[in-house]
Amino acid sequence: MPPKDIKNILVKFANTIPTYLMGPDRINYILDNLENLVQESRVALINYVNRMLTSMIERDASDIEIGGYSSGGFVWMRIFGKKERVKEFQLLSNDESALIIANLLNSNQRKILEAAKNLDFSYTFLYERKNINVRFRADVYFELDTLTLNMRAINSEIRSLDSYGFHPNVIKTLSHSFIKFGLTLITGITGSGKSTTLDAIIDAHNKFDPAHIVIIASPIEYVHDSNFSIIKHREVGRDVLTFRDGVIQSLRQDPDIIVIGEMRDPETILAALEVTDTGHKVFSTLHTSSAVESIDRIVAEIHPTEQDRVRNRLADVLIAIVSQKLVPSSDGKRVLAKEILIVTPNVKAAIKNNNTSEIYMMINQGAPQGMITMEQDLKRLFLEKKISLENAFAYANNKTRIQQIMSAI
């Protein structure tokens, strides 16, 4: 359908909104009256979103933003790390973009959004040029009483775990065949590729390990086909109410490996420690930028009266932390920089004694075990001419340390 016809659908519906409704009441009207649109118009709006997503894929964009007060009516995309207006799409009013967003949701999702003011969900469409289904992780939220949608593309192909350049000891540590239990964390800020790394780990097991893997995520991103492993996918809000419920329930589902999409609250953290304690191998993520910060964050999330107990429990079950960043590369794209902690007896003692400040130097000196600091990896990327000196400094966690090791070159 031509853009003019799409605009007509949007304007016609927007004109039905009573003028006296303001702010969130206008959004609620759209959510409650969407069903009044004829089926042909609803399909046309979905196809319009799919055209946006097609453009996103062909620009190698990682994210798209639709709607919201701050968008200025434009569709925005993140292309190689930079947010840009996409001017090929027509400007949308706040009411029009809210209608486009609401039309992607089923009736139950619209009710949740109306009550909670936020909704995570997954979305799939057929990318016709390659005849493949492409999945997206989506988040709808309110901004100054307007409705906003972010969608992030999920890789249709899994990156090989071998491509990460992990030390052989790290690969063994991640492997269920080598270590049957324990907690491994993949950490980094939003958009640093944590989910991609988790999927690479799952896929590596799926190629040789006859195990039962339970994935609990919000939302489910990549859907794995069972091969050597049987892989169950449980989406929070659709298949299970909360991360904690999914973790606790998994104990009755005969798992070998439990993947927790995010340890986002004390209840999920305690549940993850509990199932790891029972002899399962657990992988999860945190929004932290270094290994030491990850340990401190877990303990800090717990009530002070319980922190000593959790610190000891964490020391007993933690086996590795991979912290990662996506750094702008010399070719205008992005390259992965990583920090890796393997929990040795000395690291375990430092966690139990609340001496986490000592762990950085243990990582710094732990190359034989496969450990590396973020600063050491940034230096490697710089020497390989993959990143600039400026970005090596900008993305370092420890500015003093990066200055020291770069000055020695």
pLDDT in tens, 245-288: 999 999 999 999 999 999 989 999 999 999 998 899 999 999 99
Which class does domain 3-153 fall in?
alpha beta
Indicate where the chain has its CATH 3.30.450.90 domain(s).
3-153
Residue 23 burial (CB count, 10 A) = 11
pLDDT at residue number 321 = 98
* Amino acid occupying residue 398: N
CATH of 161-407, one of 3.50.50.60, 3.40.50.300, 3.40.50.80, 3.30.565.10: 3.40.50.300
pLDDT tops 90 at residue 216: yes
Segments of the chain assigned to CATH 3.40.50.300: 161-407
Q: Which residues contact 51 (CB under 8 A, 6 or more apart)?
A: none
**Nearest Cα residue to 273 out of 98, 263, 253:** 263
Write out pLDDT tens, residues 185-205. Answer: 999 998 898 999 999 999 999
| 20-24, 358-362, 392-396: segment of lowest average pLDDT | 20-24
Question: How far lies 403's CA from each of 5, 378, 385, 409, in Å?
Answer: 58, 12, 18, 10
First to last CA, the chain: 59
SS (H, E, C) 102-127: HCCCCHHHHHHHHHHCEEEEEEEEEE
- The pLDDT of residue 1 is 66
Condensed to tens digits (0 to 9), the pLDDT of residues 61-71 reads: 999 999 999 99
pLDDT tens, position by position, 16-27 = 999 999 989 999
H or E element, residue 85: strand 82-86
Cβ neighbours of 83 (radius 10 Å): 11
pLDDT tens per residue, range 266-278 = 999 999 999 998 8
Q: Say whether 208 sits in a helix, a strand or coil.
A: coil
Q: pLDDT per residue over 138-185, tens digit each?
A: 999 999 999 999 999 887 778 899 999 999 999 999 999 999 999 999
In this prediction the pTM is: 0.78
Please name the residues in contact with 63: beta carbons below 8 A apart, sequence gap of 6 or more. 77, 78, 150, 151, 152, 153, 191
pLDDT tens digits for 328-348? Answer: 999 888 999 999 999 999 999
Element (DSSP H or E) covering residue 406: helix 399-407
Q: Which residues of 214-233 are buried (b: 16+ CB within 10 A; e: fewer)?
A: bbbbbbbbbebeeeebbbbb
pLDDT number for residue 3: 66
∠ CA 256-258-264, nearest 5°, is 160
Which tops the pLDDT comparison, 171 or 218? 171
Kindly state the percentage of the chain with pLDDT values over 90: 80
